[in-house]
Amino acid sequence: MHRYDSAFTVSERKGQDGYKNMSHFVADSGGVWVPDVYKYYGSKRMTVMHRMGTVDRVPIYLYDEPLDLMDWKMSFGTKEILGYPCFKAECDFRGRHWTAWFTMQIPVKDGPWKFCGLPGLILEMEESRGHYAFRCIGIENQQKPIIWYDGPRFEDYQRCTRADVMKQEEDFHADFIGYIRMVNPGIKIHIAKTDAYGKYAGSEEAPEGYKKVLPYNPVELE
């Protein structure tokens, strides 16, 4: 799946490969991975796969949801994105108000993340408070095959509910170090140090009881 993912390739070239196994974990890095969303229009459902930001990319959670989750309201307004004329639509979704811009020149009822269901491809989504935004920055017509990532099958992942994933994310952010130790027994955790100029200055092993709280502002609030 990631073999022809250009954004992933750019990250890899910058040394941001999150897939390599580690025997140590630097505690000032990491976070919850952006979920993979697989949409099945024939059966009107989606499968959401969450990789928690831990060593060896485990645990990996999987849950299903219906595809028609958004109640879209058309709004007045048009604008151009990447040369495509776009129309405006809005919806309230799980505690946030979203504005979408979609183009009917690409008649695909899809969009970023879980968003879909408009009569054209969504090129931009923005949350009303500015906490989250999805913006299309380029479209390329590639004559390359879609390669499925040769990893674990869906049935090998941990089936759960969306509520289960939200609870795991809360625990992860409330005590990042404790969560890492819980799912990776015996791991050695190192804390990154910085000098007076804020530059990386090595690391030291985290003492027992060390706790690190991460900012938590989930895209779904309810």
Structure tokens at 39: 């949409």
pLDDT at res. 138:
93
Each residue of 163-220: pLDDT tens digit? 999 998 898 889 888 888 887 777 888 888 888 888 888 888 888 888 888 888 999 9
DSSP 8-state class, residue 190: E
Each residue of 122-149: pLDDT tens digit? 999 999 999 999 999 999 888 888 776 6
When comparing pLDDT for 81 and 21, which is higher? 81
Structure tokens at 57: 């990319």
Residues 6 or more apart in contact with residue 170 via CB below 8 angstroms:
216
Res. 30: pLDDT tops 50: no
| Per-chain mean pLDDT for the chain | 81
- In terms of average pLDDT, the best of 18-32, 46-60, 98-112, 174-188 is 98-112
Residue type, 197: Y
